[in-house]
Structure 1
Amino acid sequence: MTATARGSEFAVELRSVSKTYRSGPEPVVGLDEVSLGFPRGTFTAIMGPSGSGKSTLLRAAAGLEGIDDGQVLVDGTELGGLKDKELTVLRRERIGFVFQSFNLLPSLTAAQNVALPPKLAGRRPGKAEVLAALASVGLAERAGHRPGELSGGQQQRVAIARALISRPAVVLADEPTGALDTRSGREVLALLRGLADDPGRAVVMVTHDPVSASYADRVVFLTDGHLAGSIDDPTAEQVAARMTSLEALAC
């Protein structure tokens, strides 16, 4: 594996990353020389108008999207020099994923869903390890329940526990509250907020919701594949105002 700055302050860092899609009649810029770091112990929200590059950035940070130029580093390891198998191992061990759809296997219990990633990696996690992951999201007592026996918010919390089982350097969340009611969504956001208090971990969330973004330490804005500023210690009102401005410019 091609390692660089082990011990870096950033759990994930993008250095002059560019990505252009050329499958349509006209090339579409996904990212244009974006340089951005996500420090450990922080919670960052990514926002921008439709087509601004939010999903491209998240996928590039996860090594799920090939880039044209630049570097992506996860936990100090540059992704560009990795073979496919090495990249798969890094994603499995150093990155936790949380999606809008919970992606739980309906036939498995909560505990079995949480244990699945390490099992796929050839490691059998101990019962105490799995229960600790569920306890960290407040669901230790629901370990034996299947997804159909859990609420949407509880299913998303199981998905977060599954993301945490490998003790990742970064948790990447893509619209994690999009399928939840307001109360469940706020519970999930509070949980993500707490995860970022771990000094060894960063949480990065793509969202369209200013209230969700207000849980973060910092909101980073994108437009047309470019960085368009950021807000530290954001309020929902500040985020909404900035988004209104960016959307007006995009029209």
Structure 2
Amino acid sequence: MTAMELAVELRSVRKTYGSGEGTVTALAGLSAAFPAGSFTAVMGPSGSGKSTLLQCAAGLDRPDSGQVLLGGTDLGTLDEHRLTLLRRDRIGFVFQSFNLVSALTAAQNVRLPLLLAGRRPSEEEVGRALSAVGLAERATHRPGELSGGQRQRVAIARALITRPDVLFADEPTGALDTRSGKDVLELLRDVVDRHGSTVVMVTHDPVAASYADAVVFLTDGQVMDRLTGPTADQVAARMTKLERG
């Protein structure tokens, strides 16, 4: 598989925090590849490096060594300005905490990334984004007037309106009930299947991971296992094995 067929690739990435005896190794020479048009879940015990992998892959944090490539672009060669533009134009983010602006309506929250990029999206464009996540009728509602699942769907619409190359999701169902979580996971699955997007999702939930095409398992900052076509039971069994060491 060529670099251009990979949405994201990490090559021997190392990332540490702290110094001296307090140094913590989050990623220990980790290599991983995420194919374009795929849905990959990233799992592992607490402290295994899941969130650090996501932050480095998304250009939110720079590794100490190694390479991170987004569609063949080496993020390490970009200065902060160009890295900011790349994140804005080619990467979408969805977090557990939604990160919506409480004073803005759903439509205004969805419109925000394009406004910050100097674009003025049409009402139709924003409407399509909200329709795609099943919330066309909630366009004028503020986050406080929406359920947790609806707020997460607004966050997904906001992430997708820029048509990013990759959507990174960090525990996107962590704050949701089972029904709302299922709706969000089905939406992410649909984003891949119908629109050819690439989704990389960190999760602790085997059921959430079962919606992905593949699961990458981390331990101590390295990829220890990979499962293709996962079921929730298979994922749970692998996690139990990793946690027992």
TM over 0.5: yes
> What residue ranges of structure 1 are gaps of 5+ in the alignment?
none
How do residues 167-186 of structure 1 correspond to structure 2 at under 5 angstroms? 167-186=163-182
Aligned equivalents of 1:24, 1:241: Cα separation in 2: 37
Matched, 1:44 2:40: yes
* Larger relative helix fraction: 2
Match of residue 210 from structure 1: 206
Aligned equivalents of 1:209, 1:195: Cα separation in 2: 20
**In the alignment, is the contact (CA less than 8 A) between 1:17 and 1:68 conserved in 2?**
yes
Choose 19-28 or 46-55, whichever is displaced more: 19-28
Match of residue 233 from structure 2: 237
> What residue ranges of structure 2 are gaps of 5+ in the alignment?
none
Matched, 1:201 2:183: no
How do residues 52-91 of structure 1 correspond to structure 2 at under 5 angstroms? 52-91=48-87
Aligned equivalents of 2:196, 2:213: Cα separation in 1: 16
Q: Which of 141, 154, 158 is equivalent to 1:158? A: 154
Q: Which of 106, 109, 115 is equivalent to 2:111? A: 115
Q: Which of 18, 22, 25 is equivalent to 1:22? A: 18
Secondary structure at the counterpart of residue 8 of structure 1: helix
CA offset digits 1:132-153 (Å, max 9, x no partner): 1111111111111111111110
CA offset digits 1:108-157 (Å, max 9, x no partner): 11000000011111111111111111111111111111111111100000
CA offset digits 1:177-218 (Å, max 9, x no partner): 011000000000010111112564210000001111011000
Aligned equivalents of 1:18, 1:42: Cα separation in 2: 25
Secondary structure at the counterpart of residue 144 of structure 1: coil
**TM-score, structure 1 length as denominator?**
0.94
Choose 14-23 or 61-70, whichever is displaced more: 14-23
Aligned equivalents of 2:45, 2:194: Cα separation in 1: 30
CA offset digits 1:152-179 (Å, max 9, x no partner): 1000000000000100000000000011
Secondary structure at the counterpart of residue 186 of structure 1: helix
**In the alignment, is the contact (CA less than 8 A) between 2:9 and 2:69 conserved in 1?**
yes
Matched, 1:127 2:93: no
CA offset digits 1:38-66 (Å, max 9, x no partner): 11111000000010010110000011111
**TM-score, structure 2 length as denominator?**
0.96
Aligned equivalents of 2:194, 2:81: Cα separation in 1: 28
Match of residue 183 from structure 2: 187
Secondary structure at the counterpart of residue 4 of structure 2: coil
Per-residue deviation at 1:8? 0.5
Aligned equivalents of 2:194, 2:230: Cα separation in 1: 20
**In the alignment, is the contact (CA less than 8 A) between 1:13 and 1:38 conserved in 2?**
yes
Aligned equivalents of 2:102, 2:19: Cα separation in 1: 36
Kindly, what percent of the aligned residue pairs are identical? Answer: 68
CA offset digits 1:13-62 (Å, max 9, x no partner): 11111112234733221112222111111100000001001011000001
**In the alignment, is the contact (CA less than 8 A) between 2:40 and 2:200 conserved in 1?**
yes
Aligned equivalents of 1:24, 1:146: Cα separation in 2: 47
Choose 224-233 or 189-198, whichever is displaced more: 189-198
Choose 13-22 or 173-182, whichever is displaced more: 13-22
Aligned equivalents of 1:180, 1:247: Cα separation in 2: 25
Match of residue 29 from structure 2: 33
